[in-house]
Amino acid sequence: MEQYKKDFIEFMIDCQVLKFGDFVTKSGRKTPFFVNTGFYRTGSQLRKLGGYYAQAVKETFGLDFDVLFGPAYKGIPLSVTATIALSEKYDADIRYCSNRKEVKDHGDKGILLGSPINDGDKVVIIEDVTTAGTSIEETLPILRAQGNVDVLGLVVSVDRMERGQGEKSALCEISEKYGFKTTAIVTMKEVIEHLYNRPYKGKVIIDDTLKAAIDAYYEQYGAK
């Protein structure tokens, strides 16, 4: 596993974004782990987060694209911090763009924030996590209404590796349905590999008991 992935896993724990315990997902699944990106709250945290996203974007999509699009609302700061990181780390001047939930009819009119999207633009979508692909279904019509754009794919922070609407993972379903690449900074498999029975700051986060609970969860909800 690449070092930046290990660093990102520990970064999520430090920011209390990745938690283990007893939780219920939006879809009603009882889960022993939870990812809440709303806990990235400071400037230094967002700066680091942008760097991790930038590396994942570069590794999967390269730097030959025009716009990083972050769907409202959580995608807005992600698109901003990741484009800043792409500039700082790789000298790539990528435009950022997001959508409004409501169309603005005065001043800076329209549904978009940041850069306009033009015919021929290559676009990468950035999100926090995805479970059922609902956000993509809402995002693609917005992008395609702007012109003849080329959507290269989607990057998220964590691939939960559980079933989406069918037997495959949500990221796999999205890739197959829309014909573009999907990637994550880390997968839950990598999280477990890095943390299982391995102390971090003097504490074993995933011990045998928690590992058994995670295994049981994936036995029920894991992607095929």
In DSSP terms, 123 is beta-bridged to: 67, 151
Pick the catalytic residue: 30, 89, 104, 189? 104
Q: Token pair of 82, please? A: 């990741």
Q: Tell me, yes or no, if 106 is annotated catalytic.
A: yes
Residue in 83, 88, 161 with CA at minimum distance from that of residue 115: 83
Q: Tell me, yes or no, if 104 is annotated catalytic.
A: yes
143: left (phi over 0), alpha (psi -120 to 50) or beta: alpha
Pick the catalytic residue: 26, 101, 106, 224? 106
Question: What are the Cα distances from residue 190, in Å, to 15, 60, 62, 88, 101?
Answer: 18, 17, 22, 27, 34
Active site residues: 104, 106
